[in-house]
Amino acid sequence: MARLVILGAGVAGHTAASFAAKWLGKEHEVVVVTPNAKWNWIPSNIWVGVGAMTKEEVTFDLAPVYAKTKINYKQAKAISINPEGKQDSNNSFVTIEYTGQGKEGESEEVEYDYLINATGPKLNFGATEGLGEGTTMGEHTVSVCTADHAVHAAHELEACIEKMKAGERQKFLIGTGHGMCTCQGAAFEYIFNIEHTLQERGVRDMADMTWISNESFLGDFGMGGLHFKMGGFITSSKVFAESLYAERGMDWIIGAHVNKVEKGMVTYESLDGSINTQDFDFAMLIPPFAGVGMKAFAKDGSDITSTVFAPNGMMKVDADYSGKPYAEWKPSDWPRTLQSPAYKNIFAAGIAFAPPHPISKPMKSANGTPITPTPPRTGMPSAMMAKAVISSIVDMMTGKSTEPTHTSSMAEVGAACVASSGKGMLSGTAAAMTVFPIVPDFEKYPGTGRDINGTTGEIGLAAHWVKHLLHHAFIWKAKLKPGWTLIPE
C-alpha cells in the first residue's frame, strides 16, 4: 500500500482527492491536508458579496464527504516538506500543524509516497500598505476572496445603500490592490454585480463607480487580452470590456499599482510614473497572491526551499524558469506534467505551481515599478491540471508507468469564464467567455495567438443560466453525489 498526500482541498486539491479515492480504491491511502473545514465554490462568492446568496449556499463541510470516500482528512496546514526524509529515515514526509479536529496547534509528520501541492495562494494583503496585515484583510477595504470576506462585503455594501437611500452620494472603487495582482475576473464580476444591485435597489443615480486595475488595458484579464468574433469583426476584449463599463456609466483607471490604502482613499502609481489618489466610500481590492510559505528541508536538515519553491513561494515544476525576455517567450515554457524537477514524486496543481512568467506583456512604470497582471490559473484550469496530475500519479502508483502519463499545459488547454451581472433568471445579463488556449500561441495561431473558433465572448441572460448551472453542478460534483464523474472539469 502506498500513500498519496494532497495539500489543499480547493478546486485542484479536491478534484485530485476525489479521483484518487475513486481510482485507487482500498489498495492505497489518500490523505488530504487542508486548514479549512469547509469547501467553498469561490465563483459564487461574488453573489454572497452583494447579499444575493448566503455563505451556506456556497460552502459545505468537507469531513462527511471525505468520510464516505475513505479519504483520510486532516484539518491542518502544511508547514514544511522533507522530500528526502530525515537522518534516521528515508521516508519523505510533510510536517503539518492542526487547525481543527480538536488538535489545534499540534504538529504531526505525515509520510508520503506521492505528494500533490494544491494549497492555493496566500492572500497577500500585507504587500500593500493599509490593505491588510499579512494574510488578514485591513479595515478600510473589503474582499470577496473567501466566503467570510464576501459576507462582510455584503454587510458594508448594505450600509452604503442605506446611506444612498438617505441622500448621501457614495463612491465605489473596485479592482486590484497591487501592481502584481491576478484574478481581475473576480473583481470585474463584482463591480458589475454591485452596479446591478444598485440599479435594483433604485440608488444607482447616487453612486460613482470606478474600476482600478493593474492591467495595461481593460480586458487584459492577465492573459494579454483575447480576441473573438463579434458583429462581423474579430473584436479585442479591450473593446468588449470598455463597452461594458461605458454602457453602465462606470469610469476606469488602468495600469495602476495601488501602494497605499487609507480610510477613504487609495494612493496609486500609474505606468507613466505619476502618483495619484482616488477617494472611495466602498472599496473591494483583490490582494496579490503568494505561495503559502512552506519550507523544504534536505535529509541533513539543510534548507532547500529555493530548490523546491520559486521566490514567490509557488512550487517549481517542469517549466522554463530561465527568466528570458518577453520576445523569447514560448508556449513550451509552460509546465505540462506539473512534476517537480527535483523530486519526481512531488507534483503541483492549481495556483500552487510557479508560472514561468506572466502571460501579459510585462510593464514597468516610469519609476521602474512592475505593474503587470500575474497569470490567472483558478477554476477550470486548476481542475484540469489536477485531473492530469492525479491521472499520472495513479498510473505511477499502480505500476503502469514510472513517468507522468498525462499533461495539462496552460498553453494547450482552454478556459471558460462566466461573469454575472445580477443573479436573476430573467433580469441582469452575464458575460460568457471561452479562450483557447489560455497562453497565446502566436506560431500556431498567427495574429491573435488563439483559436478564433474556440475563443468567444457574448453577453446575455443565457450566460446567467450557465452561471447558475455551473454553481449547482460543481457543488453537486464536489459533494461527490451520484453521477459526479459525469460532470466535466
Partner 1 sequence: MSEIKKDVKGNHSHVQHVEPYTPQFGTMIPSGTQKFMRTCVIWQVCRFLAINIKMMTLIIKSHH
In sequence order, the β-bridge partners of residue 227 are 236
Q: Which is nearer to partner 1, 103 or 229 (CB)?
A: 229
Cα 14 → chain centroid: 14
Quick check: 371 and 355 in contact, CB under 8 A? Answer: no
Kindly state the smallest distance separating residue 414's Cβ from partner 1, in Å: 4
Cell, residue 361: 506583456
CB of 453 to partner 1, least distance (A): 9
Residue 435 parent element (H or E):
strand 430-435
Compute the distance between CA of residue 439 and CA of residue 433 in angstroms, rounded to an integer. Answer: 15
Task: Compare residues 134 and 249 and give the one whose CB is closer to partner 1.
Answer: 249
Cell 459576507 identifies what position? Answer: 151
Q: Beta strands of 200-341 (E only): which ranges? A: 207-212, 227-230, 233-236, 251-253, 256-262, 265-270, 275-279, 282-286, 289-290, 295-296
- Of 138, 179, 176, whose CA–CA distance to 156 is shortest? 138
Over the Cα atoms of the chain, what is R_g? 22
Task: Name the residue with cell 447558475.
Answer: 468
Q: CB 249 → partner 1: shortest distance, Å?
A: 4
CA 40 to chain centroid: 12
Whose Cβ is closer to partner 1: residue 199's or residue 312's? 199
Q: For the CB of residue 274, give the shortest distance to partner 1 in the complex, in Å.
A: 17
**In the complex, what is the shortest distance from the CB of residue 172 to partner 1, in angstroms, rounded to a whole number?**
11
| List of residues contacting partner 1 (CB under 8 A) | 204-205, 208, 210, 239, 242-243, 245-247, 249-252, 384, 387-388, 406-408, 412-416, 426-427, 429, 432, 434, 436, 454, 456, 458-463, 465-466, 488-489
Nearer to partner 1, 108 or 208 (CB): 208
Query: Between 28 and 377, whose beta carbon lies closer to partner 1?
Result: 377
Shortest separation between residue 207's beta carbon and partner 1, angstroms: 8
Extract the C-alpha cell encoding 194. 454591485
Q: Which is nearer to partner 1, 145 or 241 (CB)?
A: 241
